Amino acid sequence: MEKELWSDCKRVVFFGLPLSFTKYRLTTNRLFVNTGFLTQREDEVRLYRITDVSLSRTLMQRVFGLSTIHCNSSDKTLGNFDIINIKDGEEVKEILSQSVERERIARRVSTRENIIDVSDDDDWN
């Protein structure tokens, strides 16, 4: 059974009000993105498919206490996506990062990273 960990709406940068038709919901296993008013669409990404999470704030976002979280994912429909103009971005990013890590460990999913030592003088050509 999935437990809801967080939910919010995309907010308008000016005044930080939730005057948008985009809603986000994070559960223990999945992240849902609901968009639209007349024609609605719900996308979901399984947390183990998210490979990286970062946070950014423009000057206007900082003024109104908003953030954008950028997620890199291997999901076919969403691909890389942003969680735009949300309140408490640092806290949400931390919840998301921990949830992603738990799901990846539980499902024994790992990513392979290419680590190159730039200080190495060997010629790779």
Domain assignment present for 89: yes
Domain assignment present for 66: yes
pLDDT digits (tens, 9 = 90+) for 11-55: 887 666 677 899 999 999 999 999 998 999 999 999 999 999 999
Mean pLDDT of all residues in 96-102 = 96
Number of separate domains in the chain: 1
Sheet of strand 66-73: strand arrangement: 50-56, 66-73, 81-87
20 near 9, Cβ under 8 Å? yes
> Containing domain of residue 87, as a range?
4-106
Is pLDDT at 120 greater than 60 in this prediction?
A: no
pLDDT at 15: 67
99 near 26, Cβ under 8 Å? yes
3-state helix, strand, coil in the chain (%, to 5): 20, 35, 40
Domain assignment present for 124: no
Is pLDDT at 109 greater than 90 in this prediction?
A: no
In whole angstroms, what is the distance from residue 31 CA to residue 24 CA?
7
Q: Which of 4-18, 43-57, 94-108, 110-124 has the lowest mean pLDDT?
A: 110-124
CATH number, position 9: 2.30.29
Domain assignment present for 64: yes
Domain assignment present for 117: no
